Amino acid sequence: MSEINSHVSERKNLKPVLSLVEGSKISVALAVAIFLSSGCATRVVPEPQYQPAASLLDIVKDFQRLAREDVYRFPIPKDVTGINIMKATLIRLEDYEKKNPGQFSDVIQFNKATAYERLREYDQAIAHYRKVAESDGRLGAEAVKNLEVLESFKRILQKPLPTEDPFEYTKALDEKVSAWNELIRKYQGTPYEYLAQVEEEKIDRAKVAFVELNRYRLKDGNQLVILGYSQLVTKHRQSKNLYRYLLDFGDFYALLAKEYGAQNDPEGLTFEPETFDQFAKSALRLYTEVAQVDGILEKIEAQGKIEGLRGLTEKMRRLNR
């Protein structure tokens, strides 16, 4: 009986479509397709990745795997929606915590701490690890171990840098690099090795920036900057920031070329094309190295810099005739 009622219902639903067929040249096949698509539209189920997390396990299962990725060599992974997995997980954990107060508190706090430390928000990470360590949960011992690591991170980060003497400043930076390098060896094979590498790299970049900023106050300042960039790209060849450093290195050579053109009139007798070309070709070589790599964010930027440098070179060549 239910089957008969079902057929009767379908026949009623088909009447508008059948009348459409009779009153126009529309094909029966197309009419049936319209009917079927209209009937299925109400049963569309969203893709799983766009649905709210149904459980804490849904939130942390991929996060725990991706949280161990090498953040020195690779950018922070994205989730299925294309958002930074660390930021996304923090938001989802906050939402779950509001909807389920008091449930799995130690698991939530531990994962929040992990996300914060991968974002290098160490104060926030320490605060959440302490909550876990003070609880009676099974993650307490692990939280204590992680706290010890982050406290050692904080001691290096909080060590003051002298600002009166540039040589003392660079010496203090070198001491921080040595301290980070010691932690890299100590925590080799763990996510803390990658975080320490990121912090060491940050100091190495700061050293080059400091020399570049003060190059006119230093003997052979330009050569010191070139040496600094050379050491930076050699030491951090495996870093996710390598192409950024190559572009910055190229920018410095391009700056030297522009300065040479400003200090020596290309229409006059003091301008030496070979000197200008030396700087310009060095910049072009670095830009080209980046422009030839597919799938990186810096590729388009490098291509634009190449065109700009070629324009500058052509201008100097014509003026020097």
| 187 and 148 part of one domain | no
137 and 230 inside one domain: no
Checking if the pLDDT of 28 tops 70, the result is no
Residue 160 maps to a domain = no
Residue 108 is part of which domain span? 48-153
Asked if the model's pLDDT at residue 226 lies above 50, the reply is yes
Residue 54: the pLDDT is 53
Look at residue 136 in the predicted model and tell me its pLDDT. Answer: 80
Distance, in Å, from the CA atom of 238 to the CA atom of 201, rounded to the nearest integer, reads: 11
Nearest to 216 by CA among 256, 274, 257, 275: 256
**Whether residue 84 sits in one domain with residue 113:** yes
Tell me the per-residue pLDDT of 288-308, one tens digit each, with 9 for 90 and over.
Answer: 999 999 999 999 999 999 999
Structure confidence by residue, pLDDT tens digits, 36-51: 334 444 444 444 443 4
Q: Are residues 99 and 245 in the same domain?
A: no
Higher per-residue pLDDT: 81 or 275: 275
Say if residue 140 is exposed, middle or buried (CB neighbours under 10 Å; 0-12, 13-18, 19+).
middle
Nearest CA-CA partner of 229 in 249, 207, 203, 244: 249
Query: What is the per-residue pLDDT for 118?
Result: 97
Nearest to 146 by CA among 155, 156, 157, 133: 133
- Residues 91-136 pLDDT 10s: 999 999 999 998 999 999 999 999 999 999 999 999 999 999 998 8
Percentage above 70 pLDDT, the chain: 83
Q: How many domains does the chain have?
A: 3
Domain identity same for 185 and 306: yes
Would you say residue 142 has pLDDT above 60? yes
Q: Provide the token pair at 307.
A: 């065109």
Q: Which of the listed residues 97, 121, 153 is the one where a domain comes to its end?
A: 153
Residue 158 inside a domain? The answer is no
Does 190 lie in the same domain as 284? yes
pLDDT digits (tens, 9 = 90+) for 145-179: 999 999 999 999 999 999 888 889 999 999 999 99
Is residue 52 pLDDT above 50, yes or no? no
CATH of the domain at 188: 1.25.40
